Amino acid sequence: MKIRSKFFSAMISAALIASLLLPSAAEAKKLRVITTLTDLASLTQEVGGDKVDVEALAKGYQDPHFVEPKPSFLLKLRNADLLVLVGLELEIGWLPPLITQSGNGKIQPGGQGYLDASQFAEILEIPGGNVTRAEGDVHPLGNPHYWLDPNNGRRIAKGIAAKLSALDPGDQAYFQQREQDFEKRLADADKKWMTQMAQYRGRKVVTYHRSWPNFAKHFGLDVIGYIEPRPGIPPTPSHTIELVNQMKREGVKIQLIEPYFDLKTPNSIASMVNGKVVVMMPSVGGKPEITDYFKLFDYDIAQLTKAFEETK
């Protein structure tokens, strides 16, 4: 009897231990994904659902070219199963040393857990011929701000779903199903956005940095100039005067500004052309209410249509 009760108590404690261990084992099965930007994190979350833990390194209101490679990022990278990056040398100033120091073989370039999202997207402004820095901080592989086109969002999500399926084949059906669902919701949302923007197709705008070519192409905006004389070079008086003259000539009233640029020059241009400065968010999380990829376009289009209305 005594032996039996001992046996039972051993069984019970074993079961208890197992029950304690199992959920944690199930949790450990979650893929840990780190993305450089919040937009990629949002797309990964859309397709990964509750099978992934996603976190972005940069904040949505931060200039993605100039992120500090903080050691606290290493804590996130060293345990990651997958690193998703924008690529096209957008993160070249800060990501490579982080990857090297992470001590994580999986996420090294070329590794199973290294995913350059640019391979899935339509890339614009690929410079032809000889590239020199006389043109400023040019990206020789093309413009890296490609995620601001819902079509690219869909393609990237597809690519991420394929990668997640490769890393976790057991949940392939789950990822595919979520990806298709996302695609549907995105198509519906895009229809709405296109209708909202329909009456403004062909409108001319000026932007601060070349962050919006994909957005402009998708929604039919015509970007006629930039406040930066060259990518990465701050505005100069002579270039600003030239731009103001051009804006006056062509009747351009709207300037699209990223949240991390100083508003002094845009504001003075706005007063000279009697126009408006629109602070557009290039990334998810740029404002607290922009919590995902859909809300990013909701926000930007709301800002933009309001400004177009006001400057009719």
Backbone angles phi, psi at 34, to 5 degrees: -115, 135
Q: Annotate 280-294 with b (16+ C-beta within 10 A) or e (fewer).
A: bbbbbbbeeebebbb
Backbone angles phi, psi at 117, to 5 degrees: -70, -15
Please tell me the distance from the alpha carbon of residue 157 to that of residue 175, in angstroms, as a whole number: 10
Please tell me whether residue 162 binds another protein under the rule CB under 8 A: yes
End-to-end alpha-carbon separation of the chain, Å?
Answer: 91
Please tell me whether residue 173 binds another protein under the rule CB under 8 A: no
CB of 190 to another protein, least distance (A): 11
Please tell me the distance from the alpha carbon of residue 39 to that of residue 291, in angstroms, as a whole number: 10
45 vs 283 by CB, closer to another protein: 283
Among 53, 151, 276, 292, binds another protein (CB under 8 A): 151
Contacts of 60 (CB under 8 A, 6+ apart): 37, 38, 39, 281, 283, 284, 285, 286, 287, 290
CB of 275 to another protein, least distance (A): 23
Please tell me whether residue 164 binds another protein under the rule CB under 8 A: no
Of 259, 249, 149, nearest to 204 by C-alpha is: 249
Binding mask 9-48 for another protein (x = CB under 8 A): ----------------------------------------
Please tell me whether residue 66 binds another protein under the rule CB under 8 A: yes
Among 17, 92, 131, 302, binds another protein (CB under 8 A): 92
The single-letter code of the amino acid at 107 is I
Contacts of 297 (CB under 8 A, 6+ apart): 150, 189, 193
Alpha helices (H) along 49-149: 71-77, 95-101
218 vs 275 by CB, closer to another protein: 218
Please tell me whether residue 120 binds another protein under the rule CB under 8 A: yes
Please tell me whether residue 127 binds another protein under the rule CB under 8 A: no
Residue 56's CB is within 10 A of a number of other CB atoms, namely 23
Please tell me whether residue 188 binds another protein under the rule CB under 8 A: no
CB of 174 to another protein, least distance (A): 15
CB of 274 to another protein, least distance (A): 26
Residues 200-229 that bind another protein (CB under 8 A): 201-202, 220
- The footprint of another protein (CB under 8 A) covers 59, 61-63, 66-72, 74-75, 78, 92-97, 99-105, 108-112, 116, 118-123, 133, 136-137, 141-142, 151-152, 155, 158-159, 162-163, 165-166, 194, 198, 201-202, 220, 232-234, 259-262
